[in-house]
A and B are shown apart, each in its own frame.
Chain A
Amino acid sequence: DADVTQTPRNRITKTGKRIMLECSQTKGHDRMYWYRQDPGLGLRLIYYSFDVKDINKGEISDGYSVSRQAQAKFSLSLESAIPNQTALYFCATSESPGRHEQFFGPGTRLTVL
């Protein structure tokens, strides 16, 4: 079984809809991250969390919110989706303290029409 899982894997939605992307991990890591990947732009950090009580904005947090429901679960929400949020979204985890090596989920491909 994969250590970091994401649901759904693919989602097509319409402008203005609320969308939630979920991430679960069995690695026992404290730190979790949400990134988005756009063609030609590489991965950019949206939000990150160091533990259940800790939430921090990344470089592109506008239009997104997150919830850390448990050590193993970190959800990303788009309150009102817009077309330029069409992208590939990745969840990642890392140890704390530790090697900072990050482990990624398989990604969610989101299309906003």
Chain B
Amino acid sequence: EPEVTQTPSHQVTQMGQEVILRCVPISNHLYFYWYRQILGQKVEFLVSFYNNEISEKSEIFDDQFSVERPDGSNFTLKIRSTKLEDSAMYFCASSASTYGYTFGSGTRLTVV
């Protein structure tokens, strides 16, 4: 069964550093998403991406965040200057239509 692949599985970074989280969506999918889950809290929507542009974003997705599809296969989330409160599990998802998500296994980001 096709999978969404996320790398790395765990990343530790120092406060103020830039991080890039990488995702390889399912190859024929057109819609891409990032969600995050702070430890002990609910999964929250960050951003959706379609046709090479952001289609929706939450209030969490401020100027510190950006997304990119640098080539035909990768979808990245960049956090420009990490803060302690950015520590969370970040999930990438993709879908062929707007209703059929497949999530990756996540990247645990720890900011120290």
A, B assembled together:
no
